[in-house]
A and B are shown apart, each in its own frame.
Chain A
Amino acid sequence: MRRPIAIALVLLSAIPLVVAVAGLPAHGDPSAPVHTHVSAHYIERGAEEAGATNLVTGVLLNYRGLDAAGEVTVIFTALIAVLAILLGTGTTPESTASSRGASDRRGADRESTVAPVSPIVSFVVRLLAPFIALYAAYVILHGHVTPGGGFQGGAILAGLFIALAMVLGTRAMQPVARTALAPWLQGAAVLSFVVVGTVGAFLTGFFLGFPAEPPLHLVRELLIIALEVGIAIGGAAVLATIFLHMEAS
């Protein structure tokens, strides 16, 4: 009885969706509302106004900088929520590490999720690691010119950390993950927005304002790069921390 009702409800909600999609303007239609509102201005003047040849970065960090600040705050809050759940179970990485010493006699010291890592995977990951790191740095630092930026580069960086942690064992990450530096890395995205926003407030009078006058173009570019680097470090640290805590719990 419940199944026919469910199918009927799905169909009932699908019909208005399909009708709504059919009513959208054609893909790439120049007279579509999305192309006649603010985006015409962004495309025409965005590169010089926002200081980023990549218009996506220009909109993300300059025109809509406050939205991006909110976004990184959401990511940081998500990390706090995940850690609250994982650490709330009572098995912190520290306690696991200390109890490990006692239970190591069984020889069941799990260094990674996947049982013994094959030498081929291990070799390939270690061979590719520097190239992935270089690519991540390029995506982060070149994100205001070409596609990419802090979010994407940070995710690539986090992927590299996770791959290395799986091959070398999560203990290889502990010199970074266990120091007083770790919270600063996890909060780097939010902190960079606060710092850059305050600098912008001194320069232009608006929080997260970017100087638009030609003599300060270098400052504007540096501020954008500072934001990108902060977002990347924060994003990578958040993703890697979630992975390390899931591994350890």
Chain B
Amino acid sequence: MSLTFDILLLLYLVAAALVVAQAKDLLAASIVFSSYGLALCLLWQYRGAPDVAMAEAAVGAGITTVLFLVAIGRTTRREK
């Protein structure tokens, strides 16, 4: 069970990272990156690092995304 959960999360992380790198729509990329942060947070927690998981959830999944969204709002949504 534990290994399956790990592998699923890791596969999701790889897939999300590829989507973020390939996406031309920066809004979509930011939101997928936020879900990447959430999956990473679950993985930290599952691997016994709750301190890192908390920081990842608040900064990685939360504030980074907001700052990306503000930046997109100030520039353009599409990558040229």
Q: Could you tell me which A residues sit within 8 Å of B by CB distance?
A: 54, 56-57, 113-114, 139, 147-149, 151-152, 155-156, 158-159, 162, 166, 239, 242-243, 246-247, 249
Contact = CB atoms under 8 A, between A and B. Distances in A.
B58 A156 contact: yes
A34 to B, nearest CB: 14
Q: Which 3 A-B pairs have the closest CB atoms?
A: A155-B58, A147-B50, A152-B54
A249 B54 CA distance: 30
A25 B73 CA distance: 46
Interface of B: 50-51, 53-55, 58-59, 62-63, 66-67, 69-71, 73-74
A149 B55 CA distance: 9
Contacts of A139: 54
A21 B78 CA distance: 37
Question: Main SS of the interface on chain A?
Answer: helix
Given A155-B59, A159-B62, A239-B63, A113 B54 contact: no
Nearest to A27: B47
A149 B51 contact: yes
A155 B50 contact: no
B63 A159 contact: yes
